[in-house]
């Protein structure tokens, strides 16, 4: 079932058109990967899905993006609620300079949860959900900046999970990580799709092929091809997709 539906979407940064006539259905409980060469609009599109581009001066969007059929750009749409429902994990792990516990409790606290026992439960559940509980459970008061990059990224995923999102947007979540941490995040993402809808930008085509159900190939602001990942990689319909996935350009 479609969780996010995008119709005829265009986006401009002042007078530069970064996205052109995007149409896409992102299904619930699937992993959708965005691939394409640098500067083709993948991150811009990802950020449009929880209105992170609202913060960019000169950014203008036309068209329609719906979450569970509701227009997220409607003037009365609650953006704070949108960002709770559609969480985000960034390319470089960015834990807050505070304890592991406080990183995870931060979101729930801003949503008004104060009770210690409830927060303890959320912290444990989120860290377990991000497959890092065993590594940090005896060290929850440790500063989150004093753990490895791979652990920091799983803390950031746990922080996103703590507010119980429905969708997780991940912008190249493993590009700053070593192969072992990358493998852990890939396994984790596959486990998470039972409960969440996941949209992931990746520069790593093997990663897209390994973890995603659907793949969209972007080129100069357009989606050239969108479909089942196995089809995109083994039998692309468009010559440009074929050239890209076979490493002939990009
Ligand atoms: N804040 C901004 N203001 C103006 N132009 C921007 C802004 N952010 C991105 N762009 C431009 O929009 C285009 C798409 O950028 P975007 O970051 O979405 O591409 P990308 O495919 O994610 O690239 P990469 O893989 O390198 O991260 C690029 O030409 C970029 O220079």
Digit-by-digit pLDDT tens for the chain (250 residues) are 999 999 999 999 999 999 999 999 999 999 999 999 999 999 999 999 999 999 899 999 999 999 999 999 999 999 999 999 999 999 999 999 999 999 999 999 999 999 999 999 999 999 999 999 999 999 999 999 999 999 999 999 999 999 999 999 999 999 888 898 899 899 999 999 999 999 999 999 999 999 999 999 999 999 999 999 999 999 999 999 999 999 887 5
Q: Best mutation site among 10, 13, 37, 92 for ligand 1, i.e. most ligand atoms within 8 A of its Cβ?
A: 13
Specify the pTM.
0.94
Residue of the nearest CA to atom 12 in ligand 1? Answer: 18
At 176 the pLDDT is: 84
Distance CA(170)–CA(188), nearest Å, equals 13
2 CA → ligand 1 middle, Å: 27
78-203: CATH superfamily? P-loop containing nucleotide triphosphate hydrolases (3.40.50.300)
ipTM of this model?
Answer: 0.97
At 249 the pLDDT is: 72
Q: Would the CATH topology of 1-77+213-249 be identical to that of 78-203?
A: yes
The CATH code for residues 1-77+213-249 is 3.40.50.300
Break the chain into its structural domains and give their ranges.
1-77+213-249, 78-203
At 198 the pLDDT is: 98
At 48 the pLDDT is: 97
At 247 the pLDDT is: 86
- Residues having CB closer than 6 A to ligand 1 are 13, 16, 18, 36, 38-44, 56
Residue of the nearest CA to atom 24 in ligand 1? Answer: 38
At 250 the pLDDT is: 59
């Amino acid at each position: 079932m479609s969780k996010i539906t995008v119709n005829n979407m265009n986006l401009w940064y002042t007078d530069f058109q970064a996205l052109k006539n995007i149409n896409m259905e992102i299904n619930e409980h699937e992993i959708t990967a965005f691939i394409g060469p640098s500067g083709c609009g993948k991150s811009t599109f990802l950020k449009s899905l929880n209105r992170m581009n609202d913060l960019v001066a000169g950014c203008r969007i036309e068209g329609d993006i719906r979450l569970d059929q509701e227009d997220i750009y409607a003037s009365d749409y609650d953006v704070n609620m949108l960002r709770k429902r559609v969480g985000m994990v960034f390319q470089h792990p960015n834990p807050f300079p505070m304890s592991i516990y406080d990183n995870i409790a931060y979101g729930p606290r801003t949503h008004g949860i104060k009770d210690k026992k409830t927060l303890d439960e959320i912290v444990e559940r989120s860290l377990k959900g991000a497959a890092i509980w065993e590594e940090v459970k005896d060290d929850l008061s440790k500063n989150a900046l004093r753990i490895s990059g791979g652990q920091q990224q799983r803390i950031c995923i746990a922080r996103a999970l703590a507010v119980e999102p429905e969708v997780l947007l991940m912008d190249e979540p493993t590009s700053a990580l070593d192969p072992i941490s990358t493998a852990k995040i890939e396994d984790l993402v596959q486990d998470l799709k039972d409960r969440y809808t996941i949209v992931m930008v990746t520069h790593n085509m093997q990663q897209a092929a390994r973890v995603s159900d659907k793949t969209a190939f972007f080129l100069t602001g357009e989606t050239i091809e969108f479909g089942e990942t196995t089809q995109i990689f083994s039998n692309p319909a468009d010559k440009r997709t074929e050239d890209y996935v076979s490493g002939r350009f990009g």
